Amino acid sequence: MTALALESVSKTFPSGTVAVDALDLSVSDGEVMVLLGPSGCGKSTILRMVAGLEDPTDGLIRFDGEIANRWSPRERRVAMAFQDFALYPHMSVRGNLGFPLKLARQSPETVSERVADLAAALGVADTLERRPGQLSGGQKQRVAMGRAIIREPRVFLLDEPLSNLDSALRQGLRAEISSLVRSIGVTTIYVTHDQTEALTMADRVAILRDGRIEQLSTPHGAYRAPESLFVAAFLGTPRMNLLWATVYAYLDDRLLLDLGHQHVALPWSDPRVRDLVRYHGEQVIVGLRAEAVTPVGADHAGALRGIVRYAEHLGHETIAYLDVGGMAAGLDELTGTGHEAVMPVESSLRRWWRSRRDGPAEQAPDPEPVAEADPGRHEQQVAEFALRLPPYAAPKVGEIVAMHADLSQLHVFDRNGRRINTRGALSR
Ligand SMILES: Nc1ncnc2c1ncn2[C@@H]1O[C@H](COP(=O)(O)OP(=O)(O)OP(=O)(O)O)[C@@H](O)[C@H]1O
């Protein structure tokens, strides 16, 4: 059953900023919905409109099917918790937890019983007589969450609750919040710009950009089949390798995605080819996550090759960044409004790559100097292609590495950043 629905909800501030733009979102009873997106994409504004702290300029907000636009925050029965999780410093944990019930004029017996139950569920039963100043950061957070939910809200709203904590505490509390809201079955909207929180906590995640939903799906669905370049680039560490490619369809043979100096070939039997063939001769963007590529021997047929530029040792793995002679396709190059993305411009590094690969004798003449750049047109960068290696692998700078790409994990986007390969191995 739908607990909360936003129907074509917009919010334009008097300054003219469109914070939320015709948003449709419904959250099921007991569901944990995560709103994920970069700063300024409208996450907090959505939460504030649900809470009744901000009026939508347009659209409907429904609780359990009933239009709630005119309901006061109190009538909506939502609980909201923010980053700072402020507690009353002069009150004990018991006082803090019980305060909302006292305000609601519950009997002392009910207050005492509910506080004891909730404190046990939160693992703070032995701190009930302490003041907030005598609690650890994690305990404070749990008490503040408890205070927010003790009145059994219809919807629990959390706005970046972990952003002020160190990473160890964040990890622990992430799991705790997740299990707590599920064990009490409260419908939850959780706002974050942290993709790990979103991927680990959400039943469904709404990925937002400029007040609109780019993708609404399970975390797995968004990671595995991003519908846009924005989602592809936003989810995953290291960031998905995204490169410009030209499509060449050889009708009797196969489809090539030409990266500039090497290509990826899809057999004609691959169902994605049917979507890609109409882009023959055009530029698209291909995406391969680091985990879709594995190092292989130099003579491996069809291997991609890259020159090691640098490596990052992360303890549990090493990420090597390679120059594969392709041009990086990033979000900077996309306006998102239907304009064409800028075309690649040859860089000195790319020339260097070519000379490494072809040898000086075959080196092409330097390209014509690029005319003065158009406004808004930026020189494209040679792609840094991320490859996962075992811990403390020591690839040498300048070494050529051969890689096998698992093409079932290949993503293709058009110049406006929309996914092209909607069928085939990656469709859900
Ligand atoms: N009261 C306001 N008046 C004018 N503009 C506002 C107001 N509140 C928010 N905005 C603007 O609306 C847009 C969305 O803001 P919002 O706070 O919802 O984003 P957010 O995704 O929560 O960002 P963050 O992660 O940084 O908190 C931003 O451009 C912001 O500057």
Nearest protein Cα to ligand 1, atom 28: 40
- Specify the pLDDT at position 422: 62
Cβ 198 vs Cβ 42: under 8 Å: no
3-state secondary structure of 105: coil
Which of 227, 253, 288 represents a domain boundary (last residue)? 227
- List all residues 6 or more positions away from 15 whose beta carbon is below 8 Å from its beta carbon: none
Mutate to test the pocket of ligand 1, among 9, 41, 160, 207 (most ligand atoms within 8 A of CB): 41
Residue 331 is assigned to a structural domain of this protein: yes
- Specify the pLDDT at position 126: 95
Cβ 400 vs Cβ 324: under 8 Å: no
Residue type, 239: R
> Does 10 contact ligand 1 (Cβ within 6 A)?
no
Cα(210)–Cα(207) distance, rounded to whole angstroms? 10
Regarding whether 325 and 192 lie in a shared domain, the answer is no
How far, in Å, is the centroid of ligand 1 from the Cα of 99?
31
pLDDT digits (tens, 9 = 90+) for 32-68: 999 999 989 999 999 999 999 999 999 999 999 999 9
Confidence of residue 379 (pLDDT cuts 50, 70, 90): very low
> Does 195 contact ligand 1 (Cβ within 6 A)?
no
DSSP state of 424: S
CATH number at residue 201: 3.40.50.300
Cα(21)–Cα(7) distance, rounded to whole angstroms? 11
- Neighbour count for residue 42 (Cβ, 10 Å): 25
Provide the token pair at 354. Answer: 């070519």
Ligand 1 nearest atom to the CA of residue 42, by list position: 18
- pLDDT higher than 70, residue 315: yes
Average pLDDT over residues 350-370: 43
Nearest protein Cα to ligand 1, atom 11: 19
Which of 227, 246, 270 represents a domain boundary (last residue)? 227
Cα(225)–Cα(233) distance, rounded to whole angstroms? 12
pLDDT digits (tens, 9 = 90+) for 159-208: 988 877 777 777 877 887 888 788 778 899 999 999 989 999 999 999 99
Residue 422 is assigned to a structural domain of this protein: no
Global confidence as pTM: 0.83
- CA 320 to chain CA mean position, Å: 23
Mean of the per-residue pLDDT values of the chain? 84
Nearest protein Cα to ligand 1, atom 10: 19
Regarding whether 244 and 192 lie in a shared domain, the answer is no
- pLDDT higher than 80, residue 308: yes
Mutate to test the pocket of ligand 1, among 43, 57, 80, 162 (most ligand atoms within 8 A of CB): 43
Confidence of residue 310 (pLDDT cuts 50, 70, 90): very high
Average pLDDT over residues 299-321: 91
> Does 50 contact ligand 1 (Cβ within 6 A)?
no
Residue 15 is assigned to a structural domain of this protein: yes
pLDDT digits (tens, 9 = 90+) for 67-125: 999 999 989 999 887 666 678 999 999 999 999 999 889 999 999 999 998 898 788 89
Regarding whether 387 and 247 lie in a shared domain, the answer is yes
> Does 206 contact ligand 1 (Cβ within 6 A)?
no
Confidence of residue 349 (pLDDT cuts 50, 70, 90): very low
- Specify the pLDDT at position 425: 47
Cα(219)–Cα(225) distance, rounded to whole angstroms? 10
- Specify the pLDDT at position 355: 53
> Does 250 contact ligand 1 (Cβ within 6 A)?
no
- pLDDT higher than 90, residue 209: yes
How far, in Å, is the centroid of ligand 1 from the Cα of 19?
6
Confidence of residue 381 (pLDDT cuts 50, 70, 90): confident
- pLDDT higher than 90, residue 288: yes
> Does 44 contact ligand 1 (Cβ within 6 A)?
yes
Cα(135)–Cα(156) distance, rounded to whole angstroms? 24
Average pLDDT over residues 386-408: 91
Regarding whether 83 and 100 lie in a shared domain, the answer is yes
- Specify the pLDDT at position 68: 96
Element (DSSP H or E) covering residue 120: helix 108-122
Domain count, the chain: 2
Which of 227, 259, 284 represents a domain boundary (last residue)? 227
Regarding whether 384 and 317 lie in a shared domain, the answer is yes
3-state secondary structure of 398: coil
Cα(207)–Cα(234) distance, rounded to whole angstroms? 9
Confidence of residue 380 (pLDDT cuts 50, 70, 90): low
Cα(108)–Cα(143) distance, rounded to whole angstroms? 19
> Does 39 contact ligand 1 (Cβ within 6 A)?
yes
- pLDDT higher than 70, residue 336: no
Regarding whether 263 and 197 lie in a shared domain, the answer is no
How many angstroms separate the most distant Cα atoms in the chain? 90
- Specify the pLDDT at position 367: 38
Mutate to test the pocket of ligand 1, among 15, 36, 44 (most ligand atoms within 8 A of CB): 44
Cβ 411 vs Cβ 287: under 8 Å: yes
- Specify the pLDDT at position 334: 39
Regarding whether 242 and 223 lie in a shared domain, the answer is no
- Specify the pLDDT at position 335: 35
Cα(85)–Cα(131) distance, rounded to whole angstroms? 14
User: Residue 90's domain spans which residues?
Assistant: 2-227
- Specify the pLDDT at position 268: 86
- List all residues 6 or more positions away from 26 whose beta carbon is below 8 Å from its beta carbon: 2, 4, 5, 6
Regarding whether 391 and 351 lie in a shared domain, the answer is yes
> Does 172 contact ligand 1 (Cβ within 6 A)?
no
Confidence of residue 362 (pLDDT cuts 50, 70, 90): very low
- List all residues 6 or more positions away from 316 whose beta carbon is below 8 Å from its beta carbon: 391
ipTM of the complex model: 0.97
Ligand 1 nearest atom to the CA of residue 48, by list position: 18
> Does 17 contact ligand 1 (Cβ within 6 A)?
yes
pLDDT digits (tens, 9 = 90+) for 232-287: 999 998 999 999 999 999 877 789 999 988 999 998 888 889 899 999 999 999 99
